Amino acid sequence: MAATATMAMPLANRLRCKPNTNSSSPSRTLFGRRVTMISSSRWGSAVSGSAIMSAAADVAAAVRREEDEEMRSYLSPEKLEVLTQMEPWVEENVLPLLKPVEAAWQPSDLLPDPAVLGGEGFHAACAELRERAAGVPDLLLVCLVANMVTEEALPTYQSSLNRVRAVGDLTGADATAWARWIRGWSAEENRHGDVLNRYMYLSGRFDMAEVERAVHRLIRSGMAVDPPCSPYHAFVYTAFQERATAVAHGNTARLVGARGHGDAALARVCGTVAADEKRHEAAYTRIVSRLLEADPDAGVRAVARMLRRGVAMPTSPISDGRRDDLYACVVSLAEQAGTYTVSDYCSIVEHLVREWRVEELAAGLSGEGRRARDYVCELPQKIRRMKEKAHERAIKAQKKPISIPINWIFDRHVSVMLP
């Protein structure tokens, strides 16, 4: 679990200001509501402004109440029963995606192991690894740290899933299929941070004390997924995030591999982690597909809500103890390096729309559900337009990259173009 960027999408245009075309009317339509306007030669302007502000506050409060009510509906007994009824299906279709411990790879399989190589062989293998690592550019190293730090924050993610209603592991050793999936998934994810950490330690390219402090800060700061307890929204988020992680690690493997910078050890590590993430993505994608079959209206509205707000990756609270804008720097560096880009985000949305057959949803949809479906299906094109406009603005602004020191790589400087 390690993608390093987000494409924050705006909220749906639920608050619309429509001009009043009837000049003789004492009221106007504001944010979808009729507001009476009071005019007088002396106080007209002030009162009108006050009415607008009051109406805006009223509508904003109404929207918040509506959203709160909708979120409570996802925790109703009827909605949670859908998850409970899915348990036999999880047993048959999700748990098999976990690998038996004896068949799973371990970090010692991918990196030099003194128990296998002996003292001299181990030192020779480490020397070769360091030689290969020396050719990886600092830009890619910074992105690798961000991915590794996020992987190491696994306790946050496991605890988040355990808070999700109807699927959490309440005792820590529940026998339900949902609980066994969470523990098995966590055990497989745990190796990702371990193997990346070990590579970084052996490579000698990183200030490991600073990297370890970043891990400490990220776990300590936590991560809030909104909404926190809804299984519908949690599984949409995790399906997207696992796909993003697979893309980020896969891109890194390509960039540092034989056709890139020639670090075979790092390419193998990242490629192996990416393959794991694809299996995990398959599990969560299947779960969301099943929810859309069982409850299409609630399911597609959950998809739309998460995508409207933008799927922020777990890296967002990352800190080096110095810069308040470190996450923005990491996002920009990932775009520059090609490890995770806006185009990747758009491709993920398109992939999931196809996998979940969102365009085909019709039966059982409310008006809001149909609007959610249409929004989700149109989103990739909107993202592309936003990217084009952002590129045009950047050209007009003629912004220049800034050089910043990164303590993870001994304060060497990297150039970054901030938005």
Give binding residues for Fe cation as ranges: 151, 189, 192, 242, 277, 280
Considering the candidates 4, 138, 150, 151, report the single residue annotated as catalytic: 151
Find tokens 């020396």 and name the residue.
Answer: 134
In terms of Cα–Cα distance, which of 212, 203, 244 is closest to 319? Answer: 212
- Whole-angstrom Cα distance, residue 143 to residue 131? 20
| Angle, in degrees to the nearest 10, between helices 231-256 and 296-309 | 50
Among the options 194, 263, 277, 344, which is catalytic?
277
Local structure of 29: helix, strand or coil: strand
Options 4, 245, 252, 272, the catalytic residue: 245
Residues annotated within the binding site are 151, 189, 192, 242, 277, 280
Nearest to 304 by CA among 367, 240, 374: 374
Catalytic residue among 138, 169, 189, 297: 189
- The answer to whether residue 242 is catalytic is yes
**Can you read off the two tokens belonging to residue 170?**
């309440």
Sorted by sequence, the CB contacts under 8 Å of residue 27 that are 6+ apart come out as 20, 34, 35, 36, 37
CB 173 within 8 A of CB 104: no
Active-site position among 242, 263, 335, 344 = 242
- Residue in 135, 200, 132, 261 with CA at minimum distance from that of residue 410: 200
DSSP-derived letter for residue 104 is: S
If you compute the radius of gyration of the chain from its CA atoms, what whole number of angstroms results? 25
Catalytic residue, candidates 192, 210, 233, 295: 192
Q: Is 78 an annotated catalytic residue? A: no
Beta bridge mates, 412: 406
Q: Which phi and psi angles does 165 have, rounded to 5°?
A: -65, 145
How many CB atoms within 10 Å of residue 102?
5
Any catalytic annotation for residue 192?
Answer: yes
d(CA 242, CA 253): 16
d(CA 261, CA 339): 14
Burial of 252 (0-12, 13-18, 19+ CB in 10 A): buried
Q: Of the residues 280, 281, 335, 344, which is catalytic?
A: 280
Q: Cα(137)–Cα(323) distance, rounded to whole angstroms?
A: 22
The full length of the chain comes to 419
In the residue annotation, 233 being an active-site residue is answered as: no
Clarify whether 276 is annotated catalytic: yes
Question: Does the annotation mark 368 as catalytic?
Answer: no
- Report which of 311, 313, 303 is spatially closest to residue 378, judged by C-alpha positions: 303
355 classed as catalytic: no
Contact 316, 250 (CB under 8 A): no
Query: What is the token pair recorded at 184?
Result: 């098995």
Catalytic residues: 105, 151, 189, 192, 242, 245, 276-277, 280
